Amino acid sequence: MHRLSIDLETFSDADIKKVGAFKYIDRPTFEILLFGYSVDRGPVTVLDLASGDTVPQWLIDALFSDEYIKSAYNAAFEWACLSKVYGRMIPGQWRDTMLHSLYCGYPASLDAAGKALGLPEDKRKLNTGKALIRYFCTPCAPTKTNGGRTRNLPQHDPDKWALFKEYNSQDVVTEMEIDDRLAAFPVPDFVQRQWETDLEINARGVAVDMDFVHGALAIGDQVKTELTAEAVQISGLQNPNSVKQLLGWLDEETDEAVAVNNLRKETVSTLLSNGGLEDHVQRMLEIRQELGKTSTKKYDAIKACVCADGRVRGLLQFYGANRTGRWAGRLVQVQNLPRTYLEHLDVARECVKERNKPLLQWLYGSVSDTLSQLIRTALTATPGNVMIDADFSAIEARVIAWLAGEEWRLEVFRTTGKIYEASAAMIYHVPVETIVKGHPNYALRQRGKVAELALGYQGGVGAMRRMDVSHALDDMSDEEVQEIVNHWRDASSHIRELWGAMEAAALQVIMYGGRVKVKCLEFACEQDVMSGTRYMTILLPSGRKLFYINPTVVQNRWDRPSIAYHGVDQSSKRWARLETYGGKLTENCVQAIARDCLAEAIERVEAMGLHIVFHVHDEVVIDAGAFADEKTMLATVRDAMTQPIPWAAGLPLGADGWVGAFFKKD
């Protein structure tokens, strides 16, 4: 078995960041400029295809041979590029060094991963790389000095081109060095197979109703134009969308009792709900609020990245959340689409397709809000097919109950599944049978829901406030909310004990080494002898590991021992020293186990011959041929998702779903 390490440099007239890799490669202008490769860690060869080099036949054969494992950093890109030029290649013959980096807790970027691993400068990406990519890999603006050309070719700057070839060669070296540095902690075979399935799903893509998308964009532009014109008429401002101009106008038009320091969504909502504003000020703020809803960015994103065959591809990033291994959304961000509360979706969609704004407004009120809710429905089944959607119910709540051994919660999931009602009953000491519609105690359900969403990972009053999107706690003081927190923790003693056990295990292995079991998890402090890097690892029941790099014990702001490690800061997106604690470690493990449950379900559904087109957190979306008995097919998919998992004995899984023509939130 040989190892073929590859890095490509390419050209396309599409902006890959906006349209995604698949449309970028789908463009007629796409071509491979440089093909850098190394066989079995040997010297790097760079084929200059832009200058007339040809790919030798042995190398083309190797791309399809099971005697060669093909490896690249973000290998999905190289796989797609070479499949476009030479024919579809076999995912199982490919390995992704970026996945290896992410699996071990390092950044996704090749340059950032090299720095985090401490690679010497000559084994990292050249700093000039981005400028060279802009020069040779993207179109250029025609000017008099460049002779009106729209593209830079090798002959236009031979010195830069020579440096670009060096850059391509260095990328191959860096990729191999990263793989070697992480060799002590290989990606498990079953995770590799999940990556291969993910590659197939992303390449398959999902169909888009472009008539609907164009209608939504047209109506959105019309609404924005009308609202902006009204705002100009009321205020006299040249640009009422300018925060600076509008704040100045509000300062002049309101009295001192009304202090408007910003125009954030929450601030505008509060000002409008408080009332007491003059009519013209009230209307300006309403327009501001409405313009905030008119954003067509999601529709713009679909339009930008849809391929020539009417499908959007590359919506998912495997191991995008590298602490837990969960998928992340890309391009249209299907992980973060607005919910749909509208009735008669078919009617609303037809209004949009016909660009009938007056009827849409008459039927649904706010056109902007309606367009926002309808964005999901732009993703459809292939003509003649149907969409099957099945999602796990309360997966994280089930996993944490199973992990902690919180028996009363497990019993709820084995029977009714109504955890919000059960939680509220435990908090308020009322019979769960009274938390039903029509009974005064039903109001407690929402508080139980907020508690379930906020408190499982050691959250407190602040977490409760953040999760209270339905305003169930608005009339409660912080002291009263703290009582809910206390009652929830009293009723969930095993979960509370889990937080402490997780933190104690982490502190012990970091300070003293060895291995510590917490339920079905195993904490360990491991060291890569070659690089000297220490890791705290948590072995999950699935066989995956979570990695915490260079862990240490520090004193936190409360003067208590705290766990610190190196990782990607989710706010700054930079490599930094991070701190964690028992509740956060619990969250990492619960979300990682929930992710592994979804991965198992994906493999089962695909093995049934059903084609998943994307998935979101805890649900799979399938594009299937139309069939007579929709209930039976949905039940079959639900059964596949809820089959007992060998490594999670006793975990009670539940799933529900729907069958329809387009994506929605049922």
Lowest mean pLDDT across 62-66, 189-193, 318-322, 518-522: 318-322
Residue 265 pLDDT > 90? no
3-state secondary structure of 532: coil
Q: Please give the Cα distance from 333 to 114 (Å, whole number).
A: 28
Averaged pLDDT for residues 478-494: 96
CB contact at 8 A, 280 and 234: yes
Scored b (16 or more CB within 10 A) or e, 406-423 reads beebbebbeeebbbbbbb
The dihedral sign for the CA sequence 518, 520, 521, 524: positive
- For the stretch 446-467, pLDDT in tens is 999 999 999 999 999 999 999 9
d(CA 635, CA 653) in angstroms, rounded, equals 14
Between 281 and 535, where is the model more confident?
A: 535
Quick one: CA dihedral 362, 363, 369, 371, positive or negative? negative
Q: Which residue has the higher pLDDT, 321 or 154?
A: 154
Q: Which two tokens stand for residue 61?
A: 């054969």
Average pLDDT over residues 363-385: 93
**245-249, 259-263, 584-588: the lowest-pLDDT one:** 259-263
**Which residue has better confidence, 49 or 570?**
49
Cα separation, 164 vs 126, whole angstroms: 9
Q: Per-residue pLDDT averaged across 646-664, rounded? A: 95
pLDDT in tens, 205-214: 999 999 999 9
Cα–Cα distance for residue pair 169/177, rounded to 1 Å: 13
Across 352-378, average pLDDT: 93
Confidence of residue 548 (pLDDT cuts 50, 70, 90): very high
Confidence of residue 401 (pLDDT cuts 50, 70, 90): very high
Q: Which of 255-269, 347-361, 362-376, 637-651 has the lowest mean pLDDT?
A: 255-269
Helix H or strand E encompassing 620 = strand 619-625
- Both tokens of residue 43? 């010297």
Q: What is the pLDDT of residue 362?
A: 94
User: Looking at residue 256, what is its pLDDT?
Assistant: 66
pLDDT of 318 > 80? The answer is yes
What pLDDT is attached to residue 44? 98
End-to-end CA distance of the chain: 49
CB of 590 closer than 8 Å to CB of 456 = yes
Mean pLDDT of the chain: 93
For residue 614, give the nearest of 335, 340, 296, 302 by alpha carbon.
Answer: 335
Tell whether the model's pLDDT for residue 335 goes beyond 90.
no
pLDDT of residue 382: 96
- pLDDT at site 649: 96
Give the three-class secondary structure for 111. Answer: helix
As a three-state string, the secondary structure of 229-266 is HHHHHHHCCCCCCCHHHHHHHHHHHCCCCCCCCCCCHH
Q: For residue 462, what pLDDT is reported?
A: 95
**For residues 37 and 104, is the Cβ–Cβ distance under 8 A?**
no
Specify the pTM.
Answer: 0.92
Within 10 angstroms of residue 555's Cβ, the number of other Cβ atoms is 10
In which band, very low, low, confident or very high, does the pLDDT at 90 lie, cut at 50, 70 and 90? very high
Q: Domains in the chain, please, with CATH?
A: 2-183 (3.30.420.10), 206-312+337-378 (no CATH), 407-491 (no CATH)
pLDDT tens-digit map of 624-640: 987 768 888 899 999 99
pLDDT band of residue 348 (cuts 50, 70, 90) is very high
Residue 526 in tokens: 């491991």
Alpha-carbon gap, residue 91 to 93, rounded angstroms: 5
- 126 band by pLDDT with thresholds 50, 70 and 90: low
Highest mean pLDDT among 243-247, 268-272, 478-482: 478-482
CB-facing half-sphere around the CA of 79: CA atoms within 13 A: 26
Structure-block tokens of residue 90: 């076999």
β-bridge mates for residue 518, sequence order: 521
Lowest pLDDT segment from 492-506, 549-563, 574-588: 549-563
Distance of CA 40 to the CA centre of its chain: 34
Evaluate if residue 267 carries a pLDDT over 90. Answer: no
Residue 452: both structure tokens together:
């379930």
Q: Which residues contact 582 (CB under 8 A, 6 or more apart)?
A: 458, 498, 499, 500, 501, 502, 503, 504, 506
Helix residue ranges per DSSP H, 581-660: 582-607, 630-642
One-letter amino acid identity for 59?
L
- Between 216 and 122, name the one with better pLDDT: 216
- pLDDT mean over 364-378: 92
Unique residue bearing structure tokens 């766990």:
563
Two structure tokens written together for 503: 């933190």
CA–CA separation, 23 and 31 (whole Å): 13
Q: Identify which of 323, 318, 325, 324 has the alpha carbon closest to the alpha carbon of residue 578.
A: 323
- Residues forming a β-bridge with 615: 620
Q: What is the mean pLDDT of residues 133-160?
A: 95
Tell me which DSSP letter residue 643 carries.
S
Neighbours of 189 (CB within 10 A): 9
Rounded Cα gap, residues 325 and 319, in angstroms: 4
Q: What is the mean pLDDT of residues 563-577?
A: 89
Q: Please, which residues have CB within 8 angstroms of residue 275's CB and are 6 or more apart in sequence?
A: none
pLDDT band at 560 (very low <50, low <70, confident <90, very high): confident
Q: What is the pLDDT of residue 272?
A: 83
- The residue count for the chain: 666
Give the residue, 255 or 5, on which the prediction is more confident: 5
At residue 441, does pLDDT exceed 80?
yes
Indicate whether 409 pLDDT > 70.
yes
Mean pLDDT value across residues 553-565: 87
The answer to whether residues 125 and 9 touch, using CB atoms and an 8 Å cutoff, is no
| Residue 206 exposed, middle or buried by CB count within 10 Å (0-12, 13-18, 19+) | buried
- Rounded to an integer, what distance in angstroms lies between the CA atom of residue 161 and that of residue 135? 10
Sheet holding 575-580, edge to edge: 515-518, 521-527, 534-539, 545-555, 561-568, 575-580
- Using a 10 angstrom Cβ sphere, with 0-12 exposed, 13-18 middle and 19 or more buried, the burial of residue 658 is middle
